[in-house]
Amino acid sequence: MNIIILIFSIILIASFGLSNLIYILISALTTYLAAINHKNKHKKLIFIGTIILNVSILVFFKVVTFNNFFNLVNNKNILIPLGISYYTFQVLAYLIDVYRGKIKPEKNLLNYLLFVFYFPYLIIGPINRYNDLSKTLYKKKKLKKDNLFNGLIRISWGLFKKYVIASRIALIVTTITSNLNYQGAYVLLALLLYSFQLYADFSGGIDIVIGFSKMIGIELAENFDSPYLSRNLKEFWRRWHISLSSWFRDYLYIPLGGNHCSKIRAKINIIITFIISGLWHGINYFFWGLFHGIIVAFQGKPNDKYKTLKIILNFVIVSLLWIFFIYPDTLTSFKMLGSIFTNLNYLNLFNNILKLGLDLVNIIVLIITLIILIIVDIKHEKIKTYLYNKSDEVKLIFLGSMILLILLFGVYGLGFNVQDFIYSKF
């Protein structure tokens, strides 16, 4: 089955354009060869050269495909290769771990290509570590009933979040952000809703990837742990996009010195790490990374005193910083962020709330589904354990109900503009 999965992945990648296949093949072959030569007398030169090559390709596409950093770059004819941000970090982590002696190099080229090319994660993540993924990736695949049911349950929840919640919110957010006359309270509403949209979209996509993988016996790393229940930004980054934040911790922050240095140096290391994290998303996200880094660097450990208030405050801070995600360039982002504090047009927003893309019925549906999302986030472990341990009949009823809800309340089809998964563009 592994050969079938590899061939299927190659075909899918090539279907998005032959250049996608070429770039991922370059990353795969260069890191494969560098890893198996980790004891070569020129190993340091090979290692550094391979790292520089792969990072340079990633940086090149990040720069030329994002034309919204003060409008300095303007090239819309070059498309970023499919999944380059994810597979580049995945192969770099593998190569670094080999040279650190943490793992042995994979000598079977087909096995390594499967690790790199495995299609589901290329669209939206997570960024997998070889040591973890290889435990189930290379095992002989047996289709098990429990894996099929549990994987489908995870997929159905991901589809619900994507099409019932995220795509419904997108109608409001797009209406506001596509018209720069909507300022002040409108921008604040768009940001608060975008927090839920991005989370439902991104985590929904991860649910689909993890669920599909589970169906065929492959275990992928979890990427979210109820991030909006965090008490401050430091905790948020232990719960949000876990595979990316842990990558930056292990392969950038700690090598910079981590916190095993002076307090000032440790804070600088945090800020540098977050700036690079912002640039991983694209040039326009420099200030997003910078602001996160500054706040995290000067925050203490979270505690439970005034816990609910801290969760709400942290959610607002995170939401405000998503401003760089919803507007096309940095200057516009700052302008719209400033309008929140200068244009207090809340009454105007209230009077026009039904003119922003959703009628009253859809707003009610959105509120109900957001409440469901919050409850599931709070009780997700208990709910998952409960469902996974139920009989096949109960699982079938649940799946049937989810399919019905998605068909009835999902936002798709003619007249709607459903976006691709947001993080697929990174």
Instruction: Provide the number of structural domains found in the chain.
Output: 2
Per-residue pLDDT band for 72 (boundaries 50, 70, 90) equals: very low
Residues 406-424 pLDDT 10s:
999 998 754 444 447 888 7
Q: Which of 102, 137, 172 is the last residue of a domain?
A: 137
Confidence of residue 69 (pLDDT cuts 50, 70, 90): very low
- Give the mean pLDDT of 78-97: 90
CA distance 1 to 25: 21
- Same domain, yes or no: 123 and 170: no
Q: Is residue 126 reached through a cis peptide bond, with omega within 30 degrees of 0 on the bond before it?
A: yes
Residue 150 shares a structural domain with residue 112: no
Q: 413: which 2 tokens?
A: 């089809």
Mean pLDDT of 196-200: 97
pLDDT in tens, 358-416: 999 999 999 999 999 999 999 999 998 999 889 999 999 999 999 999 999 998 754 44
Within this chain, do residues 88 and 188 fall inside the same structural domain, yes or no?
no
pLDDT at residue 78, rounded to an integer: 61
- Domain assignment present for residue 220? The answer is yes
What is the chain's mean pLDDT, rounded?
A: 91
- Taken in order 230, 84, 291, 294, is the CA torsion positive or negative? positive
On whether both 118 and 157 belong to a single domain, the answer is no
Per-residue model confidence (pLDDT) at position 62: 80
Mean pLDDT, range 20-42, rounded to an integer: 94
Tell me the C-alpha distance between 385 and 376, whole Å.
12
Return the pLDDT at 1: 82
Same domain, 153 and 226: yes
User: Are both 124 and 152 inside the same structural domain?
Assistant: no
Q: Does a structural domain hold residue 55? A: yes
Q: Compute the distance between CA of residue 152 and CA of residue 146 in angstroms, rounded to an integer.
A: 10
| Interval 115-128: pLDDT, tens | 999 998 888 889 99
Pair 345, 404 in one domain: yes
Cβ atoms of 171 and 376 closer than 8 Å = no
pLDDT at residue 70 greater than cutoff 60: no
The answer, yes or no, to whether residue 67 has pLDDT greater than 60, is no
Render 146-214 in DSSP notation, one character per residue. HHHHHHHHHHHHHHIIIIIIIHHHHHHHHHHHT-TT--THHHHHHHHHHHHHHHHHHHHHHHHHHHHHH
In a domain, 400, yes or no: yes
pLDDT at 417: 41
Give the pair of three-digit tokens for residue 83.
Answer: 């999944």
The distance in angstroms from the start CA to the end CA of the chain is 30
Answer whether residue 252 is part of any domain: no
Does any domain span residue 294?
no
Q: Using one digit for the tens of pLDDT, what is the confidence trace for 218-264?
A: 999 899 999 999 999 999 999 999 999 999 999 999 999 998 899 99
- 150 and 133, same domain (yes or no): no
Angle between helices 109-117 and 84-100 (to 10 degrees): 140
- pTM tops 0.85, yes or no: yes
Residue 257 covered by a domain: no
Show the domain range for 57: 2-137
- How far CA 281 is from CA of 62, 248, 286, 311, in Å, comes to 8, 13, 9, 25
Using a 10 angstrom Cβ sphere, with 0-12 exposed, 13-18 middle and 19 or more buried, the burial of residue 95 is buried
Convert the pLDDT of each residue in 306-316 to its tens digit.
999 999 999 99
Considering the domain architecture, whether residues 156 and 112 belong to the same structural domain is answered as no
State which of 137, 161, 189 marks the end of a domain: 137
Same-domain pairing of 99 and 182: no
DSSP-assigned letters across all residues of 229-255: G-SSHHHHHHHSSHHHHHHHIIIIIHH
Residue 196 lies in a domain: yes
Percent with pLDDT over 90 in the chain: 78
| Residues in the chain, overall count | 426
What is the Cα–Cα distance from 389 to 364, expressed in whole angstroms? 32
Question: Do 120 and 8 belong together in one domain?
Answer: yes
Shared-domain flag, residues 224 and 351: yes
Q: Which residue, of 109, 137, 165, is where some domain finishes?
A: 137
Give domain status of residue 46, yes or no: yes
pLDDT digits (tens, 9 = 90+) for 130-184: 999 999 999 887 889 999 999 999 999 999 999 999 999 999 999 999 999 999 9
